[in-house]
Chain A
Amino acid sequence: MTYKREGRKNDEPRKIIAKAGVIPRADGSGYFKIGNTEAYAAVYGPRNLFPKFKQDPKKGILRCNYNMMPFSGMGNRVRPGANRRSKEISMVTEKALAPVLDLGDYPNSVVDVFIELPQTDAGSRCAGICAASIALADAGLTMKDLVCSIAIGSINDTLLVDLDYDEEAYEGSVADIPLAVIPRTGELTLLQMDGVVDKDNLFKAFELGKKAIKIIYEVQKNALKDKYKQEASIKTGKAEDKSSAVKKEESDESKTASKEGQK
């Protein structure tokens, strides 16, 4: 019996909204919403890393933290704090993002990425990776490309892009394959699987994934460009005028002159 999807096509991801620079105090931040799954990512750093034994004298390290908020689940309260699942996802997120990031200019330092999910409806690690990739670019770090991520599912051998929670919980043979891809080269940086899928379907899933990645990449790119769009009108001559870094305070004459002006 094949599964019939309601409301959208099999190769169609849910509605995506992305933004850059949503957290003012962070060095870079991103927001990524796909369907009802929402992720915020904040990047801090490069900054000093303690404890010292964790420092790498050759390059900076990347540290990710994935966290589902207590009210983010479907019905039940998610217990706050790290658990086995969130630790694993933090680790795979780190490994999905590390291949594009070049921290060679920042020895002994750390870049912290905090991913918070206020609302989840399956596909949360993928949303987290997409948000984190926007945030890292927004933080002005050296990256060879963005990272896009999507989950491909299979229900009773029907391949579907971007499962939601109801589909993931479907009574039948369900498989879920989260992917993260470097869009320009098509390299995979994350590949996990939950459930059973045969070899043919796995390769078909990659093809579906590559198509969906293109949509996500455009959304991420536009989110970043929108934030900085207006800055394109900067008088670029000014941008290079760094020569006079510190201006000495005004000479005494002009100071007294302006004080008199006030009176």
Chain B
Amino acid sequence: MEHLTDRKRAEGRGSARSGTLHHIAMMISAGALVILVPLFLIVVVPVIGAAHAEVAAHFARPFPALVAALTIVVAMHHFRGGVEMMIQDYWQGMTRKLAILAMILLSYGTAAAGLYAIARLAL
């Protein structure tokens, strides 16, 4: 510790210069969700709880299938960005890295599972 200068201690701990791009990406996915979420509420949510045949027939139509697929993908992408910010605010070091990695797996895994299910129902 005694051999470290102030400069050496600070090096590598500054901005990654990716924050602005991250924020712009969040604004773009938010803008997409402003359109997708109301469509999702109108076209997809009412079928939750319906009989199996009705659900299968519903997602066999292109519009509900596309709205559900896009909403899941964009929402999970937006979640990945948001949860990363929260983790970076409250955790450090290896915990932070592992938590971000786990959330990337969870968000894109969830999106993939949703897409697979819609494809199975639609085709």
Is the A/B pair a real complex?
A: no
| Interface set of A (CB-CB < 8 Å, partner B) | none
